[in-house]
Structure 1
Amino acid sequence: MSLPSLMGRGLLMQRSSRDRPPPYKRWKGTGDNKGERDGAAGGSGGKATDGRHGEEHRSRDREAGAPRSKSRSNDRSGECRRSKNRKERNPEDFPPLPGPKLTSPLPALQRRWEDSPTCSTGLQPPGCGGAGGFDFSVMSYNILSQDLLQENAYLYRHCDPSVLPWDFRLPNLLGEIQLYDADVLCLQEVQQDHYEAQMKPALEALGYTCVYKKRTGKKPEGCAVVFKSSRLSLVSAHPLEYLRPGDALLDRDNVGLVLLLRPTDAAGQSDPSDFICVANTHLLYNPRRGDIKLAQLAILLAEISRRSRLPDGSANPVVVCGDFNSTPRSPLYRFLTQGCLEFKGMPIGMVSGQEDGRGQRVLTAPIWSKSLGINQDCRYDNLPARQPPPSSPPGGTYRRTRLTHSVGLQSSYSHHLMPNGRAEITTCHSRTAMTVDYILYTPDSMTSPSLPGGRGLQLLARLSLVGQSELKAVNGLPNQHHSSDHLPILALFRLRR
């Protein structure tokens, strides 16, 4: 199929709303109930759960060929527990959800650019640069690997089967990318064969440069960072593998990417000291392994801290995107956006906010091994001979029950819809609806004592999200217009010069 036909077929179209489906009968998640503002209730939101080493749920992170666990199993520490929601997790217990098929066209979701609450200067077109600034847009999008869709087909039984094949989904996905025309794309669940044969050539034809990192192990998908060659140039690319062979904690195949991108002005020139650090990741799904998620996140933050820092100790701006498999009211999210997490006595299942964590073992210090070379401030520990301060407990910072980081991140989204505070949703399928995808950035209003002289970004606008009721009206995700079980999120930033 030619590039023009791929694009033309995928552009979003407005459809009649007269044939909306009846309410879902088995919808789980945070939606429009009074008082539910962010996060998720009931259900964990992933396509599957983790089956490696006999853990109690089958995961999208399970290696190919690993057996499914039905009722009880052991994790790496030998704990054994019974699944509370065994029936809910059985694919046979998910009957098809009611809803119209393609013979009754559904409307597309209504999304619009909205001004940042902190920006009162009004919007200029993306890429205009503004007075003394460089404006650029960023999209984060989990595009749903076809391999994972087929492996977890029970999550999509509400969908018309004709909207699920890759030949249908690819033009829609490329159409959305062309429609929003972002300067930087951070994509997750990018299947390697589809990327190499179809997506990379199509994106390059649109003027993008592509960097890809496949997951370790047998899963055929990974993360990509894609940027417009006319507006940004690559300074350096740093792929991250969270797997550490022989480490009992870091034994999963998730990956990340950290790129340094240099803005290019209208004359095609660039400032050698100017760059933006862009990171993309997809953390472990398993809601009961918050310890693994925190260790993976520590690796990402350590790499960001190292790459964004300038020789004089200051730092350039940072944008962090991805599917973090954590809700906005979770401890992991608070750690990302507040820079501190006191985890003493915290059940590992509470870390991501996908489950309540009751009855599970608690986090203990140190969460990860000292051999990782990353301290509890989420920095590479390059000075092993340094003496711990007198206030540190025995064993130094590795024995603290508190994690910190100094990147200084803030979310582009508020995670609730105005005017009534309904929860924003970034992912939904037949099992749940919640927010797990984020675009985080270092704001120019935030100064970090550890990063003197650092520059940040001004959030100008973001593409609005929707709530649970709007997703019900289009029969959930994926559907004929929106070909992933995630929605793309977009933000427009200004880098002051």
Structure 2
Amino acid sequence: MPPPHREWITVENDTSEDDQDKFTVLCYNILCEKYATSQVYGYTPSWALNWDYRKELIISEVLNYNADIVCLQEVAMKQYEEALGDAFKDRGDYDGVFFPKSRAKTMADKERRAVDGCAIFYKASKYDLIEHHLLEYNQKALQRPDFKASDDIYNRVMTKDNVAVMIVLENKETLARVLVVNSHIHWDPHDADVKLVQVGMLMDELDKFASKHLKPPTTSPHGPTYASTTQLPTIICGDFNSLPDSGVYEFLSKSTIRQDHADFGNYMYGNYTTEGLSHKLSLKSTYSSVGELDITNYTPGFKGTLDYIWYTNNTLDVMSLLGGVNQEYLDKVVGFPNPHFPSDHIPIMAEVRLKSPRREKNEEPNFGFNSRR
């Protein structure tokens, strides 16, 4: 039997009837069609592993949650351009931004369309897209002089073609802006060093991108001005392939990590392994206040939390969270995907509220968000 619906967890009781400053974010690794093979997922009935079946479950699941912002990983270019993209735009009022992994640039058209990447969808009636940006980790590593002297960069980081997508959205009514990031970090559990390096580059690039959007765009000159990149509301979604006790989680949540952290191993990565890593943002995982979910990825070989929605807790408050999957149900199934769950990951979702930003004198008050929920 299918499990009971996942319950919502209230984190902060909201007595305000004004929804202008709320929005919802969904994060979901949907398991790309080409990775969903019977060799890997032999416990899944072939009909439940078939993309046509899984596709419809994914579409209905995402549309039913009706999030304002949807970050998906492992989206094939073909599916973004066709089934998924069309369904979300036609039936869900979404526009989107998509970039495939770096290997797509070297392929013929047919092969390129099977390459997966990261997509961000947003409610077109609610937001205007101000700018989007692609971070290719292997290409960014080449641009750093301190990395060029490291053999480990060429042997370990350059061979991984993961990407991150960044966008700045502007609320059509309030003109408040939010920076949204979506990434899929390298998967191999033996490569903790690569994950740390990728997330280090992610935070470096995020700061540069954010600094371009502190002042309102020329199209909306009356929007708010943010004093620094730390004041721009920021959401970072992704499959980080990292557990809560990992260096990646420590770095994001504590803003710093030592140059000799165990996850770096004996590898050398320029300033990262001589000075350590740091970033400017005050980040928290949305689920950290109630405890991370027991699982976001569930297979016979692995059960644990790999997916996160990070937020700047000085600019945003978490109001509620989508709870986990019923434990009695989990105890009865071998793993995902299965007839009820179309991916080996489950979606995670948070409702957040924008705090009042710092304002210049004489600035109009309340640059919040308007939610249709």
- Contact 1:426 1:434 (8 Å CA) reproduced: yes
1:212-227 mapped onto 2 (5 Å cutoff): 212-217=98-103, 220-227=115-122
Q: Which residue of 1 aligns with 2:157?
A: 250
Q: Tell me: CA distance 1:415–1:458, structure 2 relative to 1, closer, same or farther (3 Å).
A: closer
Q: Does 1:186 align with 2:71?
A: yes
C-alpha deviations, 1:327-353, integer Å up to 9, x for none? 0111210111111112416254xxxxx
- 3-state SS of paired residue (1:156): coil
1:144-159 mapped onto 2 (5 Å cutoff): 144-150=31-37, 153-159=38-44
Kindly state the Cα deviation for residue 474 of structure 1 after the two structures are TM-superposed.
4.2
- 3-state SS of paired residue (1:299): helix
Q: Which residue of 1 aligns with 2:258?
A: 342
Q: Which residue of 2 aligns with 1:299?
A: 201
Q: Tell me: CA distance 1:282–1:109, structure 2 relative to 1, closer, same or farther (3 Å).
A: farther
Q: Does 1:436 align with 2:331?
A: no
Kindly state the Cα deviation for residue 240 of structure 1 after the two structures are TM-superposed.
1.1
- Contact 2:101 2:162 (8 Å CA) reproduced: yes
Distance 1:345 1:137 in 2: 35
Q: Which residue of 1 aligns with 2:84?
A: 199
- Contact 1:278 1:318 (8 Å CA) reproduced: yes
- 3-state SS of paired residue (1:175): helix
Kindly state the Cα deviation for residue 121 of structure 1 after the two structures are TM-superposed.
2.7
Q: Which residue of 1 aligns with 2:168?
A: 260
RMSD: 2.3
Q: Which residue of 1 aligns with 2:94?
A: 208
Distance 1:347 1:332 in 2: 9
1:14-25 mapped onto 2 (5 Å cutoff): none
Q: Tell me: CA distance 1:240–1:347, structure 2 relative to 1, closer, same or farther (3 Å).
A: closer
Kindly state the Cα deviation for residue 399 of structure 1 after the two structures are TM-superposed.
2.6
The residue identity in structure 2 corresponding to 1:121 is D
Q: Tell me: CA distance 1:300–1:334, structure 2 relative to 1, closer, same or farther (3 Å).
A: same
Q: Which residue of 1 aligns with 2:14?
A: 121
Kindly state the Cα deviation for residue 197 of structure 1 after the two structures are TM-superposed.
1.8
- 3-state SS of paired residue (2:157): coil
Greater share of strand: 2
Q: Tell me: CA distance 1:188–1:345, structure 2 relative to 1, closer, same or farther (3 Å).
A: closer
Q: Which residue of 2 aligns with 1:231?
A: 126
- Contact 1:334 1:341 (8 Å CA) reproduced: yes
- 3-state SS of paired residue (1:189): strand
Q: Which residue of 2 aligns with 1:288?
A: 190
Structure index of larger Rg = 1
Distance 1:190 1:327 in 2: 23
- Contact 2:63 2:88 (8 Å CA) reproduced: no
Greater share of helix: 2
**Correspondence for 1:424 among 294, 297, 301:** 294
C-alpha deviations, 1:10-63, integer Å up to 9, x for none? xxxxxxxxxxxxxxxxxxxxxxxxxxxxxxxxxxxxxxxxxxxxxxxxxxxxxx
Q: Which residue of 2 aligns with 1:478?
A: 337
Q: Using the TM superposition, name which of 161-170 and 210-219 deviates more.
A: 210-219
Q: Does 1:143 align with 2:22?
A: no
Q: Tell me: CA distance 1:293–1:123, structure 2 relative to 1, closer, same or farther (3 Å).
A: farther
Q: Which residue of 1 aligns with 2:363?
A: none
- Contact 2:293 2:324 (8 Å CA) reproduced: no
- 3-state SS of paired residue (2:201): helix
The residue identity in structure 2 corresponding to 1:211 is V
Q: Which residue of 2 aligns with 1:399?
A: 274
Distance 1:255 1:469 in 2: 36
C-alpha deviations, 1:183-204, integer Å up to 9, x for none? 0000000011122121111111
Q: Which residue of 1 aligns with 2:48?
A: 163
The residue identity in structure 1 corresponding to 2:182 is N
Distance 2:61 2:327 in 1: 21
Q: Does 1:177 align with 2:86?
A: no
Distance 2:46 2:61 in 1: 21
Q: Tell me: CA distance 1:224–1:142, structure 2 relative to 1, closer, same or farther (3 Å).
A: same
C-alpha deviations, 1:96-135, integer Å up to 9, x for none? xxxxxxxxxx22353111111xx233586xxxx53xx421
The residue identity in structure 1 corresponding to 2:312 is T
What is the TM-score normalised by the length of structure 1?
A: 0.60
- Contact 1:234 1:262 (8 Å CA) reproduced: yes
- Contact 1:255 1:281 (8 Å CA) reproduced: yes
- Contact 1:262 1:275 (8 Å CA) reproduced: yes
- Contact 1:345 1:362 (8 Å CA) reproduced: no
Q: Tell me: CA distance 1:462–1:416, structure 2 relative to 1, closer, same or farther (3 Å).
A: closer
Unaligned 5+ segments in structure 1 are 1-105, 349-360, 370-374, 377-397, 445-455
1:28-39 mapped onto 2 (5 Å cutoff): none
Distance 2:121 2:293 in 1: 29
Distance 1:123 1:214 in 2: 41
Distance 1:409 1:254 in 2: 22
Distance 1:306 1:238 in 2: 11
C-alpha deviations, 1:202-227, integer Å up to 9, x for none? 11102100100100115710000000
**Correspondence for 1:329 among 235, 245, 253:** 245
Q: Which residue of 2 aligns with 1:308?
A: 210
- Contact 2:3 2:329 (8 Å CA) reproduced: no
Distance 2:204 2:56 in 1: 37
Kindly state the Cα deviation for residue 299 of structure 1 after the two structures are TM-superposed.
1.9
Once the two structures are aligned, what percentage of the paired residues are identical? 31
What is the TM-score normalised by the length of structure 2?
A: 0.79
C-alpha deviations, 1:274-323, integer Å up to 9, x for none? 21000000000112222221221122111221233325435310000000
Kindly state the Cα deviation for residue 250 of structure 1 after the two structures are TM-superposed.
2.8
